[in-house]
Amino acid sequence: MNIVQKLSISCLLLFAICCLSCKKDKLVTNVKFLGHKGAGSNFFNDVHMENTIPSFAQAIETLDGVETDVAMSLDGTIWMYHNQDVNDYDCNEDPERFIPAMNDEELEQIMLCHETKKDRIYKLSELVAFWESRGKNFYISLDIKPTFPSWVFELVGGRSSYYDKLAASLANLPSMAEGTEKIFLEFDSPRFLSQLKLYEKTEKMVRYYTGDGDMEEHIATALARGYDGVSVEGVKATAEEVQKAKAAGLKVQLWTPYFRDELRPVVDKDPDFIHTDNIHAKKALNIAN
């Protein structure tokens, strides 16, 4: 064996040792990561407006799914937008406006601006179509917006009427019932929960209780009201409480750790899902694919 062969073998052995070391250092976890509001308007990525299809498309390149906020227009269309007032990011300075008090035609005219970014408001149906085009291979968590002024709900017959119609609109979105267990709903309304169970296309969606209070209160309320899981701020839950919820048959979503040092302790609590604005979260934690 000549010197070149010996060196080649030595290099191969060194490479193998390094690879084994890298694999050993990889974090193995069953926790799934969802891009909070997609991948827009944050420290790690400021290319896309939040809650837009381009933002969601980028998020699923590195994460397991996306989280978005939804509200229904007067025409019964579900739109994706985080804040109450649509003028928070409106390119024009207009009076306060709310999605449930607006028609689709009005919403279609709005352009959103933030620093150098510009986009429009998207319908939830557009995200569902994108999800279906990708083989329904990522998770979607929908945060149902509840905090509109009372007069807004009165435009459609009251708060209960609004959420009944919202449940019916959700049932019309997926083309098939299959795969809808990858769609989550975060909300607090036993009536809304019951309405969703009436439709074939929404009955498999995972329903998370979210509200005020600590993890113990979330667990008790979710079990009492028939929810499938709990969604709570990560700092409000201990590892023991997360395991208690899971032992009771509940799914657990924790939100919204951002930097690596914030992500690590939340991952250690072993929830089912974590919402994060950091689209590089899995890489930052060196998580094995």
Average pLDDT rounded to a whole number, residues 280-285: 94
* 60 pLDDT more than 60: yes
Length of the chain: 289
Which class is domain 29-85+123-284?
alpha beta
Q: What is the pLDDT of residue 16?
A: 46
* 23 pLDDT more than 90: no
Q: What is the pLDDT of residue 42?
A: 66
Q: What is the pLDDT of residue 56?
A: 97
pLDDT in tens, 241-270: 999 999 999 999 999 999 999 999 999 999
**Helix/strand/coil (H/E/C) assignment for every residue in 121-169:** CEEHHHHHHHHHHCCCCCEEEEEECCCCCHHHHHCCCCHHHHHHHHHHH
* 17 pLDDT more than 50: no
Query: What band does 274 get if pLDDT is binned at 50, 70 and 90?
Result: very high
Q: What is the pLDDT of residue 18?
A: 46
Query: What band does 283 get if pLDDT is binned at 50, 70 and 90?
Result: very high
Query: What band does 99 get if pLDDT is binned at 50, 70 and 90?
Result: very high
Helix, strand, or coil (residue 24)? helix
pLDDT in tens, 137-194: 999 999 999 889 999 999 999 999 999 999 999 999 877 778 999 999 999 999 998 8
pLDDT in tens, 69-83: 999 999 999 999 999
Q: Please state the domain extents for the chain.
A: 29-85+123-284
Q: What is the pLDDT of residue 177?
A: 77
Q: Are β-strands 65-72 and 139-144 bridged in parallel, bridged antiparallel, or unpaired?
A: parallel
pLDDT in tens, 221-230: 999 999 999 9
Alpha-carbon distance 75 to 72, whole Å? 8
- 93: which 2 tokens? 């300075």
Q: What is the pLDDT of residue 176?
A: 75
| Element at 220 (helix H, strand E) | helix 215-225
Least confident of 24-28, 79-83, 105-109: 24-28
Q: What is the pLDDT of residue 7?
A: 41
State the CB neighbour count (10 A cutoff) for residue 133: 8
Question: Which are the contacts of 167, defined by CB distance < 8 A and separation ≥ 6?
Answer: 192, 195, 196, 198, 199, 202
Q: What is the pLDDT of residue 27?
A: 86
Q: What is the pLDDT of residue 19?
A: 47
Does residue 38 contact residue 124 with C-beta atoms inside 8 Å?
no
Q: What is the pLDDT of residue 44?
A: 63
Alpha-carbon distance 119 to 91, whole Å? 9
pLDDT in tens, 112-133: 998 888 999 999 999 999 999 9
Average pLDDT rounded to a whole number, residues 95-111: 95
- Looking at every residue in the chain, the average pLDDT score rounds to 89
Structure pTM?
0.90
